[in-house]
Amino acid sequence: MDAAMSKPIIRLDAVSKTFQAPRGGGMVEALREISLDVRPGEFLSIIGPSGCGKSTLLSLVAGFLSPSAGEILFEGKPITGPAPERGVMFQDYALFPWRTVIGNIEFGPFARGVGRRARRDKAGELAELVGLKGFEDRYPHELSGGMRQRCALARLLANEPKVWLMDEPLAAVDLQTRIILQDELLRLWGDGVESADRPTVVFVTHGIDEAVLLADRVVVLARRPGRIKAVIDIDLPRPRAPLRSVPEVARIVDQLWSVIRDEAAMAIAEEGN
Amino acid sequence: MSPAMRIGLPFAVVAIVLVAWEIAVRASHTQGLVPLPSGVVHSALALTEDGTLFSALGSSLERVVIGFAIAAAIGIPIGLAIGTVPVLDRTLRPVLDGLRGVAPIAWIPMAILWLGVRGDAALFVVAYAAVFPFILNTSEAARRIPRSLFHAAESLGAGRLLLIRSVVLPGALPFVFTGARIAMAFAWGSIIAAELAIGIKVQTARRAVAGIGQLMVDTLYVRRDVDALVLYMIVIGIVSFLIDSGLRRAQARLMPWTQR
């Protein structure tokens, strides 16, 4: 299968985004002329220092924001707003506090008009798949951070979206939980299983090692304004989970770090002001 | 401290204070101005037996419940509207803040002029007092729902109607309930005030519609019974406490996710 030859599932064509800064500030240029093709079935990571606009980029693809200039296409058609074909996972989980685990998981099918019986069954299966069996009737506040993110993942899976848009989904959980969830994420995505209908993942993170371990390609953003600084292919075999301690991974992480070090240092210096 | 002591001690303190009170009032020349604990008990028994207390309580509560319901029916939709539509917030808020500054009691003359002394005037005052907590808490509640919840719902396929039903309403509900508790306290406070102000006429003309407040006016001017006055104050306090704990229990039942 030649991924490079297939048509992009998402295409960003010279996308720029400017914001009105809050409280009477001037205009802030968050992203400038981002052009990027996302290939169907690939796992794409976006990294960059804080304030580089990586979350903004994801919000644009999700349809929560619209570009100030340029165009974003999904399967050749312009994105006009959020849609269930592009599922989203949020750093703060964004689970509905008033719904139980099952209630959260079944929300997508519920919103799309799937009957009660069918969506309940499906939600139950997904709860088991993500390791939440026995917690179906708990409310989000009764769950640990890792379990909340499992629930959010199951909620996304329930709609069977073609694209998973993930905004630093593992940033708020502890290290051990993060490692376990990375492996789970890869497994659920279909790591090591070549399949034509594998979902496409756009994964925003500030963890370089996380990006390297998970992704086929890593997009490095520069900040103020956010621009693409580099796109790096990660030529590691799949499945990836066993590679966690392989020296090759550390070498690629080092290489990526040298690309973004100056940007990161500048970000820290500016934040210190 | 043993459990028996922990429960018994406060009762013992209260009992000692009451006995001392009784002795002090009897020994002084303040009878008729300061209530006697024994007199309050006596009034309670007498007014319960002849039904005066419960019929007055019933008509006050009826007005409170109806006024509260009207306030909820008006206040919640307005609150949701101004909480979700910034333009409405900017235009309506100054008007609401201005109105809110006019104490409910200040409306009594107008309410009597428009609605008469039958009890509808008191109802109006109650609804007026209770509507603002509903509006303010509901609008604040709607504003406070995290953006990411709307985004999550939209990206899961929710349309505008479902956003309102499945995000705005449940998201706002806990705060609305807090508003309801404040509204109920205001309603119960202003029914007494309104009945005191509307006063004695209704009490003599149509006994059935007299509420607790009207009974207090009658007790003050006609019967001059200080023990009964204190009894009414105690009853008002107890009823207020019971209503609030009922609402809190309803909240726990209806919104299990708010229990930590």
**pLDDT of chain A, 273 residues: tens digit per residue:** 444 457 889 999 999 999 887 777 788 888 899 999 999 989 999 998 877 888 899 999 999 999 999 999 999 899 999 999 999 999 899 999 999 999 999 999 999 999 999 999 999 999 998 989 999 999 999 999 999 999 999 999 999 999 999 999 898 888 888 988 999 899 889 887 776 678 999 999 988 889 999 999 999 988 888 889 889 898 888 888 888 888 888 888 888 888 777 777 777 777 655
Is the CB of B255 less than 8 angstroms away from the CB of A98?
yes
Is the CB of A141 less than 8 angstroms away from the CB of B146?
no
Instruction: Check whether B205 has a pLDDT greater than 60.
Output: no
Q: Does A39 touch chain B (CB under 8 A)?
A: no
Is the CB of A84 less than 8 angstroms away from the CB of B170?
no
Is the CB of A111 less than 8 angstroms away from the CB of B151?
no
* Composition of chain B by helix, strand, coil, percent to 5: 85, 0, 15
Q: How far is A82 from chain B (nearest CA, A)?
A: 5
Using CA atoms, how far residue A113 sits from A74, A117, A119, B156, in Å, is 24, 12, 9, 12
Q: How far is A146 from chain B (nearest CA, A)?
A: 18
- Tell me the torsion sign for CA atoms B73, B76, B80, B82: positive
Domain residue spans in chain B? 46-258
Instruction: Check whether B260 has a pLDDT greater than 70.
Output: no
Is the CB of A88 less than 8 angstroms away from the CB of B151?
yes
Is the CB of B149 less than 8 angstroms away from the CB of A94?
yes
Q: How far is A114 from chain B (nearest CA, A)?
A: 12
With a CB cutoff of 8 Å and minimum separation 6, the contacts of A122 are A106, A109, A114, A158
Using CA atoms, how far residue A39 sits from A36, A75, B102, in Å, is 10, 10, 64
Rounded to the nearest 10 degrees, the angle between the axes of helix A145-157 and helix A116-129 is 130
Instruction: Check whether B162 has a pLDDT greater than 90.
Output: yes
Q: How far apart are the C-alpha atoms of B65 and B69, rounded to whole Å?
A: 6
Query: What pLDDT is recorded for position B112?
Result: 84
> Per CATH, which fold does B46-258 belong to?
MetI-like fold (1.10.3720)
Q: How far apart are the C-alpha atoms of A5 and A8, rounded to whole Å?
A: 9
Query: What pLDDT is recorded for position B56?
Result: 87
Q: How far apart are the C-alpha atoms of B130 and B187, rounded to whole Å?
A: 5
Would you state the structure tokens that stand for residue A147, as one six-digit string? 């379990």
Q: Does A85 touch chain B (CB under 8 A)?
A: no
- Residue spans of alpha helices (H) in chain A: 54-62, 101-105, 107-111, 116-129, 145-157, 175-189, 208-214, 247-272
pTM of the model: 0.82
How many A/B residue pairs have CB atoms within 8 Å?
72
Query: What pLDDT is recorded for position A273?
Result: 52
**Positions of CATH 3.40.50.300 in chain A:** 1-7+33-85+162-262
Q: What is the ipTM of this complex?
A: 0.89
Rounded to the nearest 10 degrees, the angle between the axes of helix B120-144 and helix B86-100 is 140
Q: How far apart are the C-alpha atoms of A158 and B49, rounded to whole Å?
A: 64
Q: Does A257 touch chain B (CB under 8 A)?
A: no
Is the CB of A108 less than 8 angstroms away from the CB of B156?
yes
Sheet containing strand A27-38, edge to edge, reads A27-38, A10-20, A69-74, A77-78
Nearest to A228 by CA among A217, A214, A212, A241: A217
From chain A, the residues in CB contact with B153 under 8 A are 96, 107, 111
Among all residues of chain A, which has the CA nearest to that of B172? Answer: A98
> Per CATH, which fold does A1-7+33-85+162-262 belong to?
Rossmann fold (3.40.50)
Number of other residues whose CB lies within 10 A of the CB of residue B136: 22
Would you state the structure tokens that stand for residue B117, as one six-digit string? 């002394």
Q: How far apart are the C-alpha atoms of B203 and B215, rounded to whole Å?
A: 7
Q: How far apart are the C-alpha atoms of A86 and A163, rounded to whole Å?
A: 5
Q: How far apart are the C-alpha atoms of A205 and A173, rounded to whole Å?
A: 13
What residues 177-236 of chain A have any CB closer than 8 A to a CB of chain B?
Answer: none
Would you state the structure tokens that stand for residue A40, as one six-digit string? 């169907």
Number of other residues whose CB lies within 10 A of the CB of residue A75: 14
Among all residues of chain B, which has the CA nearest to that of A154? Answer: B156
With a CB cutoff of 8 Å and minimum separation 6, the contacts of A181 are A146, A149, A150, A169, A170, A173
Sheet containing strand A43-47, edge to edge, reads A86-89, A163-167, A200-204, A43-47, A217-222, A227-233
From chain B, the residues in CB contact with A107 under 8 A are 153, 156, 158, 166
Region of residue B146 (left: phi > 0; alpha: psi -120 to 50; beta: else): beta
From chain A, the residues in CB contact with B170 under 8 A are 96, 98
Mean confidence (pLDDT) of chain B: 87
- Pairing state of beta strands A69-74 and A10-20? antiparallel
